[in-house]
Amino acid sequence: QAKAHGKNGYVFYKNDMHQDASDEFSLENHLRKALEQNEFELFYQAQINSQTGEIIGVEALLRWNHPELGMILPNIFIPLAEKIGLIVPIGEWVIMEACRQNKMWQESGLPNMKVSVNLSTQQFLKQNLVDVVQHVLQSTQLNPQFLELEITESMAMDYKYARKVIDQLRGLGVAVSIDDFGTGYSSLKNLKCFAINRIKIDKCFVMNVLHNQNDEQIVSAIIAMAHGLGVNVVAEGVENEEQLHYLHSQECYNIQGYYFMKPLPAYEFTDQYPQLVEEFKKKKEIIHEKS
């Protein structure tokens, strides 16, 4: 029991503190066993070319199916996994699982698409990252052109190291993108000097694009810069038609967001694939008619 002695000698319990500390502790302990107990699962969200309605890729998004608490989102457990040094093995599982799944989709006749995997800073800084990726590609037999790794701006702060790793990954034939663009610490020099395939505009800008002039300016500037540099650009967090119209007006046609679909477990994505394709085509037509 957590006890604390007050000034006047009374003993009282700091209930809240006690609760928080033990919650985190038990979550931590569970997390240590989650990999071996197969509690992780990847959800997939499509990226759509909104001009053609075609699926160009899927992003793999990690979920933790906690035996008592149910599904836990990455914003909760990834920082914890980073803190206790588990993100590297978890991250390796993610790369392997995403590539395995994509290969399965290809073999079951789905049109080819890229699978995007988020890397954490610790993974990116680990010297064997390139070997890990190479090993995964070899063992899953996924063609490297169907894998994309997402890094964030902050990972590129050690400029020389980042450049070396990105070049080596590109050397394997894998694509590299910058996620959450505009929210991290970065130098625009990086965009020019790194062999980046695309940038993803963070959803915090997209969300307010119609209601906040600053966000609108930021989004249009990012798109214009990407076009100017010949880098692909994707908008994240697109939830409605109005946002999509704005993005189209800036000639950004690669879209990821709830407007098209929420992330789904692999089996649901597979089951629903034909309907999803139909829905995306319909949405594309509606948008074309209105613009």
Sites of contact with ligand C2E (CB under 6 A): 45, 61-62, 73-75, 78, 91, 94, 118-120, 179-180, 203, 236-239, 256-258, 263
Residue closer to ligand C2E (CB basis): 40 or 161: 40
How many residues make contact with Mg ion (CB under 5 A)? Answer: 5
- Full DSSP string of 40-101: EEEEEEEEEETTTTEEEEEEEEEEEEETTTEEE-HHHHHHHHHHTT-HHHHHHHHHHHHHHH
CB-nearer residue toward ligand C2E: 191 or 202: 202
Alpha carbon distance 254, 50 (integer Å) = 6
Q: How far is the CB of 40 from ligand C2E (least distance, A)?
A: 9
Interface with Mg ion, residue 118, by CB under 5 A: yes
Task: Name which of Mg ion, ligand C2E, none residue 92 binds, using a CB cut-off of 5 to 8 Å depending on partner kind.
Answer: none
Cβ 168 to ligand C2E shortest distance, Å: 19
| Minimum CB distance to ligand C2E smaller for 49 or for 193 | 49
Residues in 225-264 that interact with Mg ion by CB under 5 A: 236
CB burial readout 253-279, b (16+ within 10 A) else e = bbbbbebbbebbebeebbeebeebbee
Per the DSSP assignment, residues forming a β-bridge with 117 are 60, 149
Residue 92 as a binder of Mg ion (CB under 5 A): the answer is no
By a kind-dependent CB cut-off of 5 to 8 A, residue 53 interacts, out of ligand C2E, Mg ion, none, with none
Q: Which stretch binds Mg ion (CB under 5 A): 86-94, 113-121, 128-136, 244-252?
A: 113-121
Closer residue to ligand C2E (CB): 53 or 150: 150
Sole residue written with tokens 């629903």: 272
If the CB atoms of residues 30 and 117 are measured against Mg ion, the closer one turns out to be 117
Of the candidates 171, 165, 175, the one whose C-alpha atom is nearest the C-alpha of residue 47 is 175
Give me the least distance between CB of 87 and Mg ion, in Å please. Answer: 13
180 is a site residue for Mg ion (CB under 5 A) = yes
Q: Which stretch binds Mg ion (CB under 5 A): 15-23, 176-184, 207-215, 248-256?
A: 176-184
Tell me the closest approach of the beta carbon of residue 219 to ligand C2E, in angstroms. Answer: 14
In the complex, the smallest distance separating the C-beta of residue 116 from Mg ion, rounded to whole angstroms, is 6
Q: HSE, CB side, 13 Å, CA atoms: give it for residue 246.
A: 23
Considering only CA atoms, which of 2, 68, 62 is closest in space to residue 35? Answer: 62
- Spell out, one character per residue from 128 to 157, where the chain touches Mg ion: x when CB under 5 A holds, - when not: ----------------------x-------
Are residues 49 and 253 in contact, defined by beta-carbon separation less than 8 angstroms? yes
Which helix (H) or strand (E) element contains residue 29? helix 15-34
Residue of 64, 68, 20, 62 whose CA lies nearest to 45: 62
CB 176 → ligand C2E: shortest distance, Å? 14
In 3-state terms, what secondary structure has residue 199? Answer: strand
Q: How far apart are the first and last CA of the chain?
A: 64
Positions in the binding site for Mg ion (CB under 5 A):
118, 150, 179-180, 236
